[in-house]
Structure 1
């Protein structure tokens, strides 16, 4: 399963506010099958099979044009671990477990 962090930035809009575009992309994500996703304050995390995640990112990129952007910049970070199952939540739990360990370990 791949974990992707995606930031899609509409450029050439009439406003400095982007929340309209973010809300639109979240609606588009809600219609996508075969993935899970989480909105963060600075990006969206998408999890699923790599091929599907990449398809969904393309759909999001295109939907931003459909929402009125004249130019779109998309940044993607992908963590594709194949030695064992991983998720965004599991990664956070792993760090939390290490934070709770004594400093002596």
Structure 2
């Protein structure tokens, strides 16, 4: 399973507020098959098969354009572990265990 951290920044919107764009992106994510996701204060974490994750990111990148943005900057970090099952929650659990 791949874990991706995605940040999408619409540029040329005429406003410094991005929350309406973020809300639209979350609605679009809810419709994407084969993934789970979690909104954080600075990005969104998407988990699933790498093909499904990349397909979801492509749809997300296009969404601000459909909502009036003139430019979109998308940053993606992908952790694609193939030696064993992994998830965002499992990664956090592992770190917390080592803190004790």
Bin the TM-score by the shorter chain: over 0.9
Task: Give the match for residue 68 of structure 2.
Answer: 68
Task: Give the match for residue 13 of structure 1.
Answer: 13
Runs of at least 4 residues off by over 3 Å: none
SS class of match (2:33):
coil
* CA displacement 1:45-75 (0-9 Å, x = unmatched): 0000001100000000001110111000000
Count how many residue pairs are aligned between Structure 1 and Structure 2.
Answer: 100
> What TM-score results when the alignment is normalised by the length of structure 1?
0.94
Task: Give the match for residue 103 of structure 1.
Answer: none
Tell me, in whole angstroms, the C-alpha distance in 1 between the residues paired with 2:18 and 2:43: 12
Task: Give the match for residue 26 of structure 2.
Answer: 26
SS class of match (1:4):
strand
> What TM-score results when the alignment is normalised by the length of structure 2?
0.99
* Unmatched 5+ stretches in structure 1: 101-105
Tell me, in whole angstroms, the C-alpha distance in 1 between the residues paired with 2:66 and 2:50: 24
* Unmatched 5+ stretches in structure 2: none
Find the structure with the greater CA-based Rg: 1
